[in-house]
Structure 1
């Protein structure tokens, strides 16, 4: 396996990713490999210029678009780090090759489909059965707070405060974030906890000990979709997380706020959701920009 030479700038960059962004070990290893591959083509990265980076186009010509995008992103972040640290004044990353295809867009559920899921889940919860109350709590937290499936099923009881509408979530890279919980979700969660009984340290325990599995969560949501008249192939915990982000952005949420709520280390990951709201953004520019039609007298 190729290794990055003892280049202090690279090591400091990787240390920053670990310390400030909470990058996981696998993420750091991937960045190290990508940077090492670039070193093999153009030599030390700290002193590389635009002409050097342009050579990567030929070296990476056979890469899949996703691989090319990942490698280029690693280098762009590296040179951004050098500029932030005052180690470079210029940014040569504009010479990096660009992927031939855009990143695939997330599957999205429409408002009517979300409403159908809630109608069915609320009907189940009205029966007072623990299963129905648990399912509604799942739906409220996935769509209402944008939790990842793993974050939801492994949620410890200690993460649920008694006097504040927030959850303390431990996400990727063991980074903690505070996630607001809507009044509806607080009510659904309280009903479930009352029906849950005692024992275990997880909000959603498994009958066999530990917590409910991601696979079982997926199955329960697919069954809910089928009963709600929504295509089960369109419904998953991650799709509900996408819907949370998309519908928040449609409602005017700031992209940086959305990044915090989703627990994304890189704003570029959050920007995938901007595709859903291009019409609103154009309208915003027309209304608020000094040269927009609504501002010109």
Structure 2
């Protein structure tokens, strides 16, 4: 039914109990005359986005990724990489083809002398963007589908050895730093997860914590007796009223951020002469130690909060001694 007639009928229905038949006929006549020159449309409660420019589509893509819980570190790569491509090609997105993207990547490498790893990160960004455009029906086909992953030399990221972990603990000059590094190892948390934790989140009796991970997903992590002891000692000597689990050592004792935690570990590395001391290496160390001691990789995946088990496999360091032991045990 035409929207104007729907409106008229709804008004008449609402007035039926109040007006006589002749009055209803008159009301209908007046409404028909008065509404003749108006366009009537039902109000839409949907958010309408009409910016179909390349920049507008990029903004919509980033908003979608943020809504899906994509890490901010990843989102920060999207805009400069994709915007650079859009401006360099200077054509509508639906006209971009596979050759355009290959040409842009080749030219980018030649002009900027970047490593293949950077190019692969760019390719992933483009693939995610054009894949989204295709799924949304904004372009006909994904031009990145035919572009294969760009190979690059992968460096082996080693975990801390037991001796290195001991040296780092001995280098701590205060209870906070000792509790911090023991917590990082025992929990396997991302530094962003540690930053958000409050004292009230710690369940000392059961030695576990519920953390908010990537994509807003909660997971339960566990603590060793040693980590719990150092954490309790640290909290017992605090005199501030901050709810944060880890705070700065100087007034006003604000919540430690990512940069603050990384700075503490960097100084410990400089003091001990151990290279590449950072929070993520403790996470890698826990994953490797758990698997080395017989933990199923599926359990390690849950502890680390990985959606894909292949990500967990990347974290693991294949100890040559373990490989030799397995060979000699199973080859005989």
- TM-score normalized by the length of structure 2: 0.58
5 Å-filtered alignment, 1:133-282, equals: 134-149=176-191, 151-152=193-194, 155-161=197-203, 165-169=207-211, 175=216, 177-184=218-225, 185-197=227-239, 199-205=241-247, 206-209=249-252, 210-211=254-255, 213-214=260-261, 217-218=264-265, 221-222=268-269, 226=272, 231-248=273-290, 250=292, 251=294, 254=297, 258=301, 262=304, 272-273=314-315, 276-277=317-318
Aligned in 2, Cα 1:168/1:69: closer, same or farther, shift over 3 Å? same
Does residue 35 of the first structure (1) align with residue 87 of the second (2)?
Answer: no
Deviation for aligned residue 1:161: 4.1
Does residue 21 of the first structure (1) align with residue 69 of the second (2)?
Answer: yes
Maintained 8 Å contact 1:42/1:52:
no
Aligned mates of 1:177, 1:201 — CA distance in 2: 20
Deviation for aligned residue 1:180: 0.3
Deviation for aligned residue 1:35: 1.9
Larger-Rg structure = 2
Length, aligned pairs only? 266
Aligned in 2, Cα 1:188/1:27: closer, same or farther, shift over 3 Å? same
Among 50, 68, 81, the alignment partner of 2:119 is 68
Contiguous gaps of at least 5 residues in structure 2: 1-51, 325-330
Deviations 1:149-205 (A, max 9, x none): 5654664323324665443446689x5643502242334423433343563322233
Deviation for aligned residue 1:242: 2.9
5 Å-filtered alignment, 1:278-293, equals: none
Maintained 8 Å contact 1:169/1:178:
yes
Maintained 8 Å contact 2:69/2:214:
no
Deviation for aligned residue 1:256: 9.7
Aligned mates of 1:202, 1:47 — CA distance in 2: 51
Contiguous gaps of at least 5 residues in structure 1: 125-129, 284-292
Maintained 8 Å contact 1:166/1:178:
no
